[in-house]
């Protein structure tokens, strides 16, 4: 039932609004609202009960194993939330003067330094609000770099066909054409194909390493050399940074710019679709173009760095300084872990992924790249099951929900048919992984004997399988009063 | 290793199952020359107790000054229930509702959000959020350039009364797509967009006109005239509004000649609806539009549908617009947005309702009126503009604003936003705001401190901090 369907005229949460409604003195009637907006009229308890009940219709990390590949759904420590919500931090106005900001700025400066060390980059700006905005920032800086050198004829960004959809979409937002290159059967980028498309038109390449197919790109040094020789820059999509913390650094691999998804690697909440944070780190040559504001430190006080100090900046990406509250959560997480803890994140994320991959392979599931080490994630292809049993990856995904597991990422990357991209993360224990394997095995057995159960799953959730076609064809995007 | 559950036995069993001797063997595909040394420059890990002490100390350093700054971020009361529910793990630690059946909580909430937002804006359609108000306006500009069927122009009119940070953000985001932003000046007396300056663009080819309400000076624009001007000249009208103000002000869907159906796109900063100030984020950008523009919208959209038994349910819809399907042909690269903030905003709007929001808005209006009256009673303080206001206003001081604000801050009052850098044509101007949170006593405190600071500055012309209290 919608909150609107519980509404009664005249009902309110009386404690929550001022006692009076003063007149709008001086506001011309023509500019005032004639009819009140159709918002629900409910008591405080009704609202609390309604949204508490709604919350219970969600799967989440706090309630289920959530191996959504490429999303790093690890435990979000509660302290990160409560400490970012200390009254002094919540009440700080974005335009508060530096005299009243030293505590906050110190956290931001520390975080910049931590991310520099983790990535091996030369400087970091924290402002991008999510991964895709970090990507935009990175490619916009690549463009600003070429333009500043009078090298503006470069109009192509190279993207592997396995890349996340945000990569090509970002390149286009920055005014570039996208050149796709294929992935080899072993999961590495086709370097010969790369050589063929590199040229004076190349502005740069966007790569994820470990790649979106869950393997480490072994020829990365060669790729970096080839792209640089052609005059292009290398962009690192940090979606998969969790796998390599303290093991290998993008700066050492030769990348010029990287974005990090703090809502993945640094365990800030995914919040049902954000907020994220997508800080960028750069090599020496891109420092002048970093987005503002950043935080500087003169040995005594912290201060903002703005357009004034950074005249070549690509500018501002949001009204203030990005998702500050998310950055605070990431900072608390980084301090809890410390350097040693971060290395262990990569180790145990990788251990869990390799263990789960091996167990699933032993149980008769096909790995997409069986000859390769898994990184923090890996791909299972259910092509065989789809062909022989008529049960697709989608069906497996829905049936997993009945077993109390959130489904892995399905049908991404697009080049592997009927695929599951599975990322267990380091915070799951071995028994949780074993439980997942047992569920997969049980579903496979069902698919062999009574496929219909799998094809019509889920059976135990608040709703059965939904009609997506109808949702798109008969658009119903808001509640409207009857009549 | 604060959040790793593995016992030594687990690790041994897992390594045996994989068939390797050590965890390090799992990294053998990384070329040895690239292997990093340990992250030794990073500080050591801390216990939760230690981090708690650190963060409390940091938070204390910033004090809790009495805040009269608005300028796009406003200090409002947020019901306790809002963040208690929004931070329930089921909302807090879920992701984008790709598996609709396991995400009906988030999906239904977002559908309710879309319903509330369209009601508040009097628009047909809302998406499920963008990053913030400024980047949301950039998306609205891109959308308008794509969607305007009457004009192929890549030029957009931006009034100078629009928040300067929004103008900068829009520029940074759209400039790589050959979109030209042309600024329109303001009337020095009223603080509104200058109608004469605007008329000079009549008959020219522009994709859209941006219309802020209230504008950055807190002044109410003549939104009907601006919207009609846009439509008469083949432009789309993009409203940038404070959503709280829309509880009492004419909403974008009703602007201008009714035959044209109001503004075409409405966007803005959602922060006043339940997001704490929090140093400028996370907030959320909202984006609404007319029905016929829905396929040009960026971001997630939730639709109501049925399951295979005919039961009502909710799902992501029109995904063919989005990057994960359309890749380079998507309407935007946006993926993760600001779901948790929308969760808070939905609960906030449900708790306040139309009447509650109207009371908050009207109280802000009244408090700011009181503030301006009290401050203008001080010698050397005058109103800058005579246009009607919502909950902010610009004052002209008889002393340099930066100095005055510094002195006030030294006495724990944040006196407003200095307009000198963004509007050099306004001399010694400061933007002030009093939300419903500021009491009579707060306003008295500000007035008495300002009066002493100005007196000290104008009489002694002394560069040192005036001493009082």
Determine, for residues A272 and B96 on separate chains, whether the beta-carbon distance falls below 8 Å. Answer: yes
Q: What is the pLDDT of residue B193?
A: 98
How far, in whole angstroms, is CA B34 from its chain's centroid? 42
Instruction: Give the distance from CA B336 to its chain's centroid.
Output: 16
Distance CA A199, CA A461 (A): 53
For chain A, how many residues are written? Answer: 483
Residue pair B359/A18 in contact (Cβ under 8 Å)? The answer is yes
Query: A131: which chain B residues are within 8 Å (Cβ-Cβ)?
Result: 335-336
Could you tell me if A407 and A258 lie in one domain? Answer: no
Residue A84 lies in a domain: yes
Q: Which residues touch B396 (CB under 8 Å, ≥6 apart)?
A: B381, B382, B383, B384, B426, B427, B428, B429
pLDDT digits (tens, 9 = 90+) for B9-29: 999 999 999 999 999 999 999
The pLDDT of residue B457 is 84
CATH number at A395 reads 3.90.1150.10
| Percentage of chain A lying above the pLDDT 90 cut | 99
Does residue B273 contact residue B262 with C-beta atoms inside 8 Å? no
Same domain (yes/no): A102, A237 = yes
**Cβ–Cβ of B42/A359 closer than 8 Å?**
no
Query: Residue A230 maps to which CATH number?
Result: 3.40.640.10
* A414 CB within 8 Å of a chain B CB: no
Are A374 and A353 in contact by the 8 Å Cβ rule? The answer is yes
Question: Residues A353, A311: one domain?
Answer: no
Nearest in space to B178 (alpha carbons), one of B142, B148, B219: B142
Reference A213, options A465, A51, A419; nearest CA is: A419
Q: pLDDT tens, B258-274?
A: 999 999 999 999 999 99
Distances (CA, A) of B396 to B432, B455, B457: 11, 15, 14
- Per-residue pLDDT tens over the stretch A229-251: 999 999 999 999 999 999 999 99
Same domain? A269 vs A359: no
Looking at the fold, whether A374 and A311 belong to one and the same domain comes out as: no
Task: Give residue-wise pLDDT tens across range A40-80.
Answer: 999 999 999 999 999 999 999 999 999 999 999 999 999 99
Closest partner residue to B94 among A60, A89, A95, by Cβ? A60
The pLDDT-based confidence of B336 (bands split at 50, 70, 90) is confident
Residue A190 has pLDDT above 90, yes or no: yes
Which residues of chain B are within 8 Å of residue A279 when distances are taken between CB atoms? none
Beta-carbon separation of B94 and A58 below 8 A = yes
Question: Collapsing DSSP states into helix, strand and coil, what is residue B294?
Answer: helix
Going by C-alpha positions, the residue among A374, A369, A412 that lies closest to residue A393 is A412
Closest CA to A187 of B417, B29, B293: B29
Q: Which of A311, A336, A361 is the last residue of a domain?
A: A336
Is the Cβ of A157 closer than 8 Å to some Cβ of chain B? no
CA distance A341 to B38: 11
A-B CB pairs within 8 A amount to 695
Structure-token match 């305007």, residue found: B148
Same domain, A282 and A393: no
Contacts of residue B314 in chain A, CB cutoff 8 Å?
466
The Cα B30–Cα A458 span in angstroms is 40
- Evaluate if residue B54 carries a pLDDT over 90: yes
pLDDT band at A169 (very low <50, low <70, confident <90, very high): very high
- Note whether A482 contacts B: Cβ–Cβ < 8 A: no
Q: CB contact, 8 Å: A196 with chain B?
A: no
The CA distance from B102 to B96, in Å, is: 11
Task: Please tell me whether residues A406 and A426 are part of one structural domain.
Answer: yes
Is some CB atom of chain B closer than 8 A to the CB atom of A147? Answer: no
Give the pLDDT score at B39. Answer: 85
The model's pLDDT over A195-231, given as tens digits with 9 standing for 90+, comes to 999 999 999 999 999 999 999 999 999 999 999 999 9
**CB of A342 within 8 Å of any CB in chain B?**
yes
**Does some domain include residue A181?**
yes
Encode pLDDT of B119-167 as tens digits: 999 999 999 999 999 999 999 999 999 999 899 999 999 999 999 999 9
Pick the last residue of a domain from A318, A336, A354: A336
Same structural domain, A259 and A111: yes
Residues A467 and B305: their CA atoms lie apart, in Å, by 6
Task: Label residue B458 by pLDDT band (50, 70, 90).
Answer: confident
Does the residue A382 lie in any domain? yes
User: Exposed/middle/buried for A450, CB within 10 Å: 0-12, 13-18, 19+?
Assistant: exposed
The answer for B144, left when phi > 0, alpha when psi is -120 to 50, beta otherwise, is: alpha
3 state SS for chain A: CCHHHHCCCCCCCHHHCCCCCCCCCCCCHHHECCCCCCCCCCCHHHHHHHHHHHHCCECCCCCCECCECCCCCCCCCHHHHHHHCCHHHHCCCCCCCHHHCHHHHHHHHHHHHHHHHHHCCCEEECCCCCHHHHHHHHHHHHHHHHHHCCCCCCCEEEEECCCCCHHHHHHHHCCCEEEEECECCCCCECHHHHHHHCCCCEEEEEEECCCCCCCCCCCHHHHHHHHHHCCCEEEEEECCHHHCCCCECHHHHCCCEEEECCCCCCCCCCCCCCCCCCCEEECHHHHHHCCCCEEEECCCCEEEECCCCCCCCCCCCCCCCCCHHHHHHHHHHHHHHHHHHHHHHHHHHHHHHHHHHHHHHHCCCEECCCCCCCCCCEEEECHHHHHHHCCCHHHHHHHHHHCCECCCEECCCCCCCCEEEECCCCCCCHHHHHHHHHHHHHHHHHHHHCHHHHHCCCCCCCCCCECHHHHHHCCCCCCCCCC
Q: Are residue A401 and residue A353 in the same domain, yes or no?
A: yes
Q: Residue B352 to residues A38, A76, B89, B361, B465: CA-CA distances in angstroms? A: 12, 30, 24, 11, 43
Please give the Cα distance from A451 to A453 (Å, whole number): 5
Contact A126, A322 (CB under 8 A): yes
What is the per-residue pLDDT for B37? 78
Average pLDDT over residues B176-197: 97
- Is residue A25 one of the residues assigned to a domain? no
Three-point CA angle A95, A100, A102, nearest 5°: 105
Give the nearest partner residue to B358 out of A36, A164, A324, using CB atoms.
A36
Q: Which of B73, B347, B359 sits opposite A17 (nearest CB)?
A: B359
Which residue among A59, A166, A335 sits closest to B335, beta carbon to beta carbon?
Answer: A166
Name the minimum distance, in Å, from the CA of B1 to any CA of chain A.
Answer: 5
In DSSP notation, B353-414 reads HHHHHHHHHHHHHHHHHHHHHHHHTSTTEEES--S-BSSEEEEEESS-HHHHHHHHHHTTEE
Chain B residues touching A461 at Cβ < 8 A:
101-102, 104
Let me know whether A359 and A322 are in one domain.
Answer: no
Question: pLDDT tens digit string along B79-90?
Answer: 999 999 999 999
Test the A interface: residue of B45, B87, B95 with most A CBs within 10 Å: B95
Q: A231 touching B, CB under 8 A? A: no
Average pLDDT over residues A369-390: 97
Q: Domain count of chain A?
A: 2
* Size of chain B, expressed as the number of residues it contains: 469
**Residue A222 and residue A137 share a domain:** yes
pLDDT at A53: 98
* Residue B460 pLDDT greater than 70, yes or no: no
* Residue among A279, A234, A240 at smallest CA distance from A260: A279
Contact A336, B2 (CB under 8 A): yes
pLDDT digits (tens, 9 = 90+) for A250-268: 999 999 999 999 999 999 9
Predicted ipTM > 0.95: yes
Mutation pick from B23, B35, B62 vs chain A, by most beta carbons of A within 10 Å, is: B62
pLDDT interval class at B464 (50, 70, 90): low
> Domain for residue A28, yes or no?
no
Instruction: Kindly list the residues from chain A whose CB atom is less than 8 angstroms away from the CB atom of residue B254.
Output: 34
Task: Give the C-alpha distances (Å, rounded to integers) separating A405 from A432, A442, A459, B98, B416.
Answer: 10, 13, 14, 14, 51
**Boundary of a domain, candidates A336, A355, A381:** A336
User: What pLDDT is attached to residue B38?
Assistant: 74
In a domain, A72, yes or no: no
| Domain containing residue A307 | 79-336
Kindly report the number of other CB atoms within 10 A of residue A346's CB atom.
Answer: 25
Are A63 and B27 within 8 A, CB to CB?
A: no
Q: Are A318 and A402 contained in the same domain?
A: no
Give the Cα separation of B188 and A186 in Å (integer). 67
Report CA Rg, chain A: 25
Following CA atoms B146, B152, B154, B159 in sequence, which dihedral angle do they give, to the nearest 10 degrees?
A: -90
pLDDT category of residue B469 using cuts at 50, 70 and 90: very low
Whether the Cβ atoms of residue A332 and residue B55 lie closer than 8 Å to each other:
yes
Mean pLDDT of A316-332: 98
pLDDT category of residue A100 using cuts at 50, 70 and 90 = very high
Residue at A32 is within a domain: no
What domains are there in chain B, each with its CATH number?
66-75+353-460 (3.90.1150.10), 80-347 (3.40.640.10)
Threshold 0.95, pTM exceeds? yes
Give the pLDDT mean for A17-28: 97
């Amino acid at each position: 039932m919608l909150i609107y369907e519980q509404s009664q005229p005249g009902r309110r949460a009386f404690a929550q609004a001022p006692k009076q409604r003063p007149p709008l003195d001086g506001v011309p009637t023509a500019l005032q609202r004639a009819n009140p907006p159709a918002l629900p009229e409910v008591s405080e308890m009704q609202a609390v009960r309604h949204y508490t009940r709604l919350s219970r219709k969600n799967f989440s990390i706090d309630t289920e194993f959530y191996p959504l590949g490429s999303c790093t759904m690890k435990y979000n420590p509660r302290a990160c939330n409560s400490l970012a919500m200390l009254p002094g931090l919540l009440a700080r106005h974005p335009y508060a003067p530096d005299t009243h900001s030293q505590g906050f700025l110190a956290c931001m400066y520390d975080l910049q330094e931590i991310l520099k060390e983790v990535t091996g980059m030369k400087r970091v700006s924290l402002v991008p609000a999510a991964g895709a905005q970090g990507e935009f920032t990175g490619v916009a800086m690549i463009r600003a770099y070429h333009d500043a050198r009078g090298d503006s004829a470069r109009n192509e960004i190279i993207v592997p066909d396995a890349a996340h959809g945000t990569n090509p979409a970002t390149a286009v937002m920055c005014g570039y054409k996208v050149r796709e290159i294929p992935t080899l059967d072993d999961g590495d980028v086709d370097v010969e194909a790369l050589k063929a498309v590199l040229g004076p038109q190349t502005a740069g390449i966007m790569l994820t390493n470990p790649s979106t197919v869950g393997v480490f790109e072994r020829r990365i040094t060669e790729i970096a050399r080839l792209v640089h020789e052609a005059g292009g820059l290398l962009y690192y999509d940090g979606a998969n940074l969790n796998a390599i913390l303290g093991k290998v650094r993008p700066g050492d691999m030769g990348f010029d710019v990287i974005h990090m998804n703090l809502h993945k690697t640094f365990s800030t909440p995914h919040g049902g679709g954000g907020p994220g944070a997508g800080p960028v780190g750069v090599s020496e040559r891109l420092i002048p173009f970093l987005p503002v504001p950043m935080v500087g430190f003169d040995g005594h006080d912290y201060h903002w760095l703005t357009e004034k100090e950074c005249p070549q900046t690509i500018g501002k990406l949001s009204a203030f300084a990005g998702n500050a509250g998310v950055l605070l959560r990431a900072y608390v997480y980084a301090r809890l872990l410390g350097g040693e803890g971060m290395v262990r994140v990569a180790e145990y994320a990788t251990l869990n992924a390799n263990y789960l991959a091996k167990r699933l392979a032993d149980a008769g599931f096909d790995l997409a790249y069986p000859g390769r080490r898994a990184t923090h994630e890996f791909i299972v292809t259910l092509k065989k099951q789809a062909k022989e049993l008529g049960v697709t990856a989608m069906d497996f995904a829905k049936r997993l929900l009945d077993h109390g597991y959130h489904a892995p990422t399905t049908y991404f990357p697009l080049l592997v048919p009927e695929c599951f991209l599975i990322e267990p993360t380091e915070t799951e224990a071995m028994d949780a992984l074993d439980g997942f394997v047992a569920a997969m095995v049980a579903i496979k057995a069902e698919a062999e004997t009574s496929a219909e159960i799998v094809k019509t799953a889920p059976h135990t959730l608040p709703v059965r399988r939904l009609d997506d076609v109808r949702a798109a064809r008969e658009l119903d995007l808001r509640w409207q009063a009857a009549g | 290793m604060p959040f790793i559950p593995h016992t030594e036995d687990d690790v041994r069993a897992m390594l045996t199952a994989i068939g390797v001797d050590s965890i390090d063997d799992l990294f053998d595909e990384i070329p040895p020359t690239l292997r990093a040394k340990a992250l030794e420059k990073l500080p050591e890990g801390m216990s939760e107790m230690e981090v708690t002490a650190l963060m409390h100390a940091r938070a204390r350093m910033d004090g809790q000054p009495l805040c009269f700054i608005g300028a796009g971020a406003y200090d409002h009361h947020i019901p306790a229930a809002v963040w208690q529910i929004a931070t329930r793990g089921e909302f807090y630690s879920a992701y984008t509702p790709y598996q609709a059946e396991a995400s009906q909580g988030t999906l239904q909430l977002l559908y309710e959000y879309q319903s509330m937002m369209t009601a508040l804006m009097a628009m047909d359609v809302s998406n499920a959020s963008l990053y913030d108000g400024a980047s949301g306006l950039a998306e609205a500009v891109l959308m308008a350039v794509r969607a305007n069927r009457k004009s192929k122009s890549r030029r957009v009119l931006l009034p100078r009364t629009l928040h300067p940070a929004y103008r900068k953000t829009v520029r940074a985001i759209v400039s790589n797509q050959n979109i030209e932003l042309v600024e329109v000046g303001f009337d020095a007396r009223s603080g509104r967009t200058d109608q004469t300056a605007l008329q000079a663009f009549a008959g020219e080819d522009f994709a859209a006109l941006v219309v802020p309400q209230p504008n950055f000076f807190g002044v109410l624009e003549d939104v009907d005239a601006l919207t009609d001007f846009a439509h008469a000249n083949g432009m789309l009208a993009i409203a940038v509004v404070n959503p709280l103000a829309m509880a009492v002000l004419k909403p974008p869907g009703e602007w201008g000649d009714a035959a044209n159906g109001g503004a075409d796109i409405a966007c803005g900063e959602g922060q006043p609806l339940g997001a704490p100030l929090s140093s400028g984020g996370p907030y959320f950008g909202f984006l609404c539009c007319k029905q016929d523009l829905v396929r040009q919208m960026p971001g997630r959209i939730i639709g109501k549908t049925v399951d295979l038994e005919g039961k009502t349910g909710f799902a992501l819809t029109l995904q063919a617009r989005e990057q994960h399907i359309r890749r380079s042909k998507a309407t935007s690269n946006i993926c993760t947005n600001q779901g948790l903030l929308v969760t808070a905003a939905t609960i906030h709007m449900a708790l306040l309702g139309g009447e509650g929001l109207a009371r908050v808005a009207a109280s802000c209006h009244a408090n700011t009126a009181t503030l301006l009256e009290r401050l203008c009673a001080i010698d050397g303080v005058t109103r800058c503009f005579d246009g009607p206001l919502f909950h902010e206003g610009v004052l002209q001081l008889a002393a340099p604003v930066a100095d005055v604000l510094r002195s006030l801050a030294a006495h724990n009052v944040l006196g407003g936003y200095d307009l000198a850098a963004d509007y050099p044509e306004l001399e010694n101007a400061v933007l002030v705001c009093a939300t419903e949170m500021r009491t009579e006593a707060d306003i008295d405190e500000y007035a008495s401190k300002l009066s002493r600071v100005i007196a000290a500055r104008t009489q002694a012309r002394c560069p040192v901090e005036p001493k009082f209290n």
